[in-house]
């Protein structure tokens, strides 16, 4: 074998290996199924980037999957999720150079008013309903119980009907220099349960974000779920959460 032929062969092998590693990395970035660990019930210490309560939870980066598997937003964030005796607990931490919300009370349309964390939980594909819970960096909450996506989109379910139920979500916020964190616990009672779902039960969830900088125009959207389209209500693309 000539030196040139050997070199070309090596370069091809390196290229193929590099491509394989890139594909592996992209596959790892798409988390389609996630085991839900049981974690402590007490509130997390949000002054830590990763509270000890969530140390065993897999970090879920927020991405713009509709634009490509490995597309990150300009300001990154991640989420962690676990089951407590009380409910489903979610921790998020967002990088943010302009932290604000103009919300002044609970149950306002938070996604139009500034920065917000949004948690979507669908308690199984056999049920049509799901919860959408928003928390703002200035400490307000909006929780929506959507009887069915089709009914919401058709107008069969009115805004008043969707926003009237209360999830009894407990939450806390921590704002730091250049980032903010939140913890939300949606009680099992919101899903008609009294305790953690039985082992093997599979739900669907997504943690999503509206990130506004410099005003209320052109928010940057991102999500933990591998959404094929820029729509946070595509529950068929949510991550499966296995208890």
Q: Decide: helix, strand or coil at residue 88.
A: strand
Q: Is residue 41 in some structural domain?
A: yes
Q: What are phi and psi for residue 199, nearest 5 degrees?
A: -55, 135
Residue 21 lies in a domain: no
Any domain includes 15: no
What's the number of domains the chain is made of?
Answer: 1
Residue at 16 is within a domain: no
C-alpha span between 100 and 228 (Å, rounded): 29
Long-range contacts (CB closer than 8 Å, 24 or more residues apart) made by 160-166: 163/107
pLDDT tens-digit profile of 187-215?
Answer: 999 999 999 999 999 999 999 999 999 99
Q: DSSP class of residue 58?
A: P
Kindly state whether residue 5 falls inside one of the protein's structural domains: no
The DSSP code sequence of 147-164 is S-HHHHHHTSS-HHHHHS
Q: Is the pTM of this model over 0.85?
A: yes
Q: Does any domain span residue 12?
A: no
Residue 7 lies in a domain: no
d(CA 56, CA 204) in angstroms, rounded, equals: 20
Is 198 part of any domain?
A: yes
List the CATH number of the domain containing 220.
2.60.40.1190
pLDDT of the chain, 243 residues: tens digit per residue: 443 333 333 333 334 333 333 333 344 557 889 999 999 999 999 999 999 999 999 999 999 999 987 899 999 999 999 999 999 999 999 999 999 999 999 999 999 999 999 999 999 999 999 999 999 999 999 999 999 999 999 999 999 999 999 999 999 999 999 999 999 999 999 999 999 999 999 999 999 999 999 999 999 999 999 999 999 999 999 999 999
179-187 and 87-95 beta bridge pairing: antiparallel
Return the pLDDT at 29.
57
Tell me, rounded to whole angstroms, the distance of Cα 28 from its chain centroid.
17
Host domain of residue 197: 31-242
């Amino acid at each position: 074998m000539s030196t040139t032929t050997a070199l070309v062969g090596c370069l091809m092998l390196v290229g193929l290996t590099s491509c394989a590693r890139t594909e592996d990395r992209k596959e790892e970035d798409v988390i389609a199924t996630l085991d839900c660990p049981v974690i402590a019930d007490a509130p997390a210490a949000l002054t830590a980037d990763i509270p000890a309560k969530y140390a065993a939870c897999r970090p879920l980066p927020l991405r713009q999957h509709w634009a490509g598997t490995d597309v990150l937003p300009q300001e990154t964030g991640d989420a962690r999720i676990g089951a407590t005796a009380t409910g489903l607990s979610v921790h998020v931490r967002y990088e943010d150079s302009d932290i604000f919300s103009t919300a002044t009370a609970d149950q306002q349309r938070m996604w139009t008013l500034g920065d917000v964390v949004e948690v979507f939980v669908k308690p199984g594909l056999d049920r049509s309903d799901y919860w959408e819970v928003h928390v703002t960096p200035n400490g307000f909450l909006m929780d929506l119980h959507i009887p069915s996506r089709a009914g919401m989109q058709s107008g069969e379910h009115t805004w008043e009907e969707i926003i009237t139920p209360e999830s009894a979500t407990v939450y806390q916020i921590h704002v730091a220099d250049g980032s903010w964190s939140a913890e939300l616990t949606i009680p099992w009672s919101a899903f008609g349960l009294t305790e953690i779902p039985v082992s093997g039960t599979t739900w669907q969830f997504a943690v999503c974000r509206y990130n506004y900088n410099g005003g209320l125009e052109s928010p940057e959207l991102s999500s933990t779920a591998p959404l094929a389209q820029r729509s946070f209500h595509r529950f068929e693309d949510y991550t499966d959460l296995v208890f």
